[in-house]
Amino acid sequence: EKAVNLKKDLAEMQEWMTQAEEEYLEKDFEYKSPEELENAVEEMKRAKEDVLQKEVRVKILKDNIKMLATKIPSSGQDLATELNVVLENYQLLCNRIRGKCHTLEEVWSCWIELLQYLDLETAWLNNLEERVQMTENLPDKLDAVNDALESLESVLRHPADNRTQIRELGQTLIDGGILDDIISEKLEAFNARYEELSHLAVSRQIALEQQLQTMRETDHMLQVLQENLVELDRQLTSYLTDRVDAFQMPQEAQ
């Protein structure tokens, strides 16, 4: 009777493992929304806990069969063979569920990381857009144009590392068929805005550089002219003070 009960327990354990394999490992999952992905992660965590909890039952079965084998070698030997199969299948099931759980957790982490990088770069784009707008309707003063140019250039020096991460994380998830529609839409919107603002910012940078160069050249010309006028005024004052006749002056002084 002991052997019959143990044999029944082994059969039930094998049946449970078959059901667990069908439910957690053989179903085709499609992760088209973050909610579906998050639910799948939580389900696999519960599955891992459920499978690992069976370890106690497996150990009890193993101990009982060993004990039976010492009392009834013939019955124990047959059960030991079945036990080995169950133990092998159980270990395989544990490994596969652990593996799938780890994979889904990594995928979820990848999605969260992608969102974080997108948030960072979106904040940078907002800052860039604000700096570009600040370059409009500037007062016609050299200092104002120079400050606006330096402010814009400081934002444009933003490193490209985050965008590289966004591209790689997004492509990894899309290649796996995970949240591909949502990610493609997010990346398309982000890239379009990035290209538009970057192009506009660089155009404004070039325009400000040219404006600044023109203002500096004009400022230099005015300075030279002012210096020449001062010198001419000094000469004319000298001539007048000395009561020099105009016809005795050089042609330019006349």
Q: Residue 12: which CATH number?
A: 1.20.58.60
Alpha-carbon distance 160 to 146, whole Å?
Answer: 25
Residue 228 lies in a domain: no
Residue range of the domain that includes 131: 1-211
Cα Rg, the chain, nearest whole Å = 40
Q: Is residue 227 part of a domain?
A: no
Q: What is the pLDDT of residues 8-62, one digit of tens each?
A: 888 888 999 999 888 888 766 678 899 999 999 999 999 999 988 888 888 888 8
Query: Which residue has 């000094």 as its token pair?
Result: 234
- Residue 3 pLDDT > 60: yes
Classify residue 219: in a domain, yes or no. no
Position 246 in a domain: no
Residue at 204 is within a domain? yes
pLDDT (average), residues 67-88: 76
Please tell me the distance from the alpha carbon of residue 218 to that of residue 195, in angstroms, as a whole number: 34
Total domains in the chain come to 1
Question: What stretches of 25-136 show up as alpha helix (H) in DSSP?
Answer: 34-71, 73-134
What are 117's two structure tokens?
A: 């990088």
DSSP state of 160: S
Q: Which tokens in the block code for residue 250?
A: 């050089």
Give tens-digit pLDDT for 123-180. 999 999 999 999 988 888 999 999 999 999 999 999 889 999 999 999 999 988 889 8
Residue 254 confidence (pLDDT) above 70: no
Q: Is residue 66 part of a domain?
A: yes
Among residues 121, 92, 107, 249, the alpha carbon closest in space to that of 179 is found at 107
For helices 142-156 and 180-241, the axis angle rounded to 10 degrees is 150
Q: Is residue 221 part of a domain?
A: no
Q: Is residue 245 part of a domain?
A: no
